[in-house]
Amino acid sequence: MDIDTLLNKHYAGRVVRKDLTKKVKEGYNVPVYVLEYLLGMYCASDDEEAIREGLEQVKGILANNYVRPDESEKIKSKIKELGSYTIIDKVTVKLNENRDRYEAEFSNLGIKGIEMEGNYIKKFDKLLAGGIWCILNMGYFYDELKNSGSPFTINDLKPIQMPNMDMNEIFEGRKHFTKDEWIDVLLRSSGLEPEHFTQKVKWHFLTRLIPLVENNYNMCELGPRGTGKSHIYKEISPYSVLVSGGQTTVANLFYNMSRNVIGLVGLWDVVAFDEVAGIKFKDKDGIQIMKDFMASGSFVRGRDQKNANASMVFIGNINQSVDFLIKTSHLFIPFPEEMNSDTAFFDRMHYYLPGWEIPKMRPEYFTDRFGFIVDYLAEYLREMRKTSFTDVLDRYFRIGNNLNQRDVIAIRKTVSGLVKLLYPDGNFSREDIKEILEYALTGRRRVKEQLKKIGGMEFYDVHFSYIDNETMEEHFVSVPEQGTGKLIPEGPGKPGHVYTVARGDTMIGVYKIELQIVSGTGKLQRSGFGANSSAKESVNVAFNYFKATSKQISSSINTKIKDYHLHVQDLQGVGLPEDLTLLAFVSLCSGAMDRAVQEQMVILGGMSIGGTITKVPELANSLQVCFDAGAKKVLLPLSSAVDIATVPPELFAKFQTSFYNDPVDAAYKALGVG
């Protein structure tokens, strides 16, 4: 049986053909859940004639009852002339303290100040926060004696959402679908055609749904424009709110102390920030309160601690290539300046969704097949927030030792969210959990990799793993964009080719010097230095020192009959360091002796004009960069031995380390001589 048949058999009346949504959506600018609420009422069938008749009814309702902004006066006239009239509009409510009453504002009808009964507020409190789409029966009564208020009245109000949800229906129906079929059901329910996407991309789409099923889940998705990042949070669920980039306030987002009213985090399941580059708090303590909430699901306002379950989603665009960002900065750089170097803020992210792996949306990517009515989907997702699967991985696996407590919490939440989506009935296998766990580890490691770049050694350990409880075998996960190709390749190098790690203009980077020696008269040529005069001068110092000590290095060296062309490469594009003296000196010795430096070796430290060795600043951070670049051996100045205590033992153990006393000693040990 195909998926459409299975859906209509096991979820009869809960599904709709998604091409109907597209057909109607084009003519009416209403959220998908509004359309499908109506389509579910009139078109929940696989009978073509019934669908056609139902579609005409829906179009009729939208034509006659949906309020178009340009026809608002016409609708207002109908309400007045007929005495009562049913409309579809978005309603927002505010408390008018001066008149001690709630007042409604209609988005498309363009009227406000309509008195609203308090019982509606008690039942549907989201009316107070951003508003909700409703079907309303409106009345009209003009009182000459009381002409200060609006003559419009609300006779009846019904939010456009399902009145109840039978989760057993979901659980029983799920048993008739395989894992892959169920993934396709979820994707089609959100309007996408899974046949056009790889398995990895399908999982990324599923991950966008995790904040809707998991309480207090913090997720970030940055990527190119046009990949549908905001669609889920804007169209699919009436329980999520999309905050457009721009200024916001603590009162709006968390708690209004003057009115004693909870903000968005208490009224919505998901608060999504569109265009993160534009996030700006008017309040100085806004970011700190957000960090508190993301960490614990609570915040303090005044003397009280408030709790809320909203998930936080951060969406934004990456304008440069991912490769460029990885080399030059970090993948959180699109965030505003006051956030993009705040490690405490980003450490609270449970998952970083790689938006660059999702293709830009094209017409054929949207489905014409059956899927859940989005309102049914939204209610299923919301009900699953009452359940937790954070402990399911313990049945089969345990987390590796390199993960701290925040890492573990993030992994467990992601696993729980994906289990709720894929196996809501709790019927899963070891392999199912393994697949989910590896995916969860990858997303959290992506966060940690960026934290390491921003915060240095505090976040040095990014080697995430899990251990099988049966075999006790440890499995490590990698992050695709970090690449498997190392900056320092395996295998022997060429004479004159040497590597170092040092602080450039913006961060610690990896640098390589290449040397070419030809017949000549003892001249030095340089390239790759740009306008960096300090780096150029340091190479001149190295060349002079080389000429002065050449006979001490090897009696066979004659600097007067050779020309030396020295080229420097900034392998990560972070700007050249000021001091390349020692590296250039070792390169000249290596080239002159026609002997390569030891395989995968990095030379750390510097030297003065007189040959005095300077120790390595930021030793721990430098060694971490060495390891990430692929180094296996490190050559250190003896003066840096006192700083080894600052290096985590497990990191120091990754290298074969040797020490040198002076430049010539450094050259000998680098070349493996003596």
**What pLDDT, on the 0 to 100 scale, is given for residue 163?**
57
Q: Strand (E) positions, 107-217?
A: 112-116, 132-140, 152-159
In the chain, the largest separation of any two C-alpha atoms, in whole Å, equals: 114
**What pLDDT, on the 0 to 100 scale, is given for residue 360?**
92
In contact, 238 and 406? CB cutoff 8 Å: no
C-alpha span between 327 and 483 (Å, rounded): 11
Q: Which pTM value belongs to this model?
A: 0.73
Segment 128-181, tens digit of pLDDT: 877 888 889 999 988 776 656 788 999 999 887 665 678 999 999 999 999 999
**What pLDDT, on the 0 to 100 scale, is given for residue 331?**
87
**What pLDDT, on the 0 to 100 scale, is given for residue 246?**
64
Segment 433-473, tens digit of pLDDT: 999 999 999 999 999 988 887 877 677 677 789 999 999 99
Q: Residue 391 phi/psi, 5° resolution? A: -100, 0
Per-residue burial over 439-465, b if 16 or more Cβ lie within 10 Å, else e, is: bbbbbbbbbbbbbbbbbbbebbbbbbe
Q: Residue 315: beta bridge partners?
A: 221
**What pLDDT, on the 0 to 100 scale, is given for residue 180?**
95
**What pLDDT, on the 0 to 100 scale, is given for residue 401?**
84
Residue spans of the chain under pLDDT 70: 44-46, 145-148, 161-164, 245-246, 327-328, 457, 460, 482-485, 674
**What pLDDT, on the 0 to 100 scale, is given for residue 514?**
94
**What pLDDT, on the 0 to 100 scale, is given for residue 499?**
96
C-alpha span between 7 and 101 (Å, rounded): 46
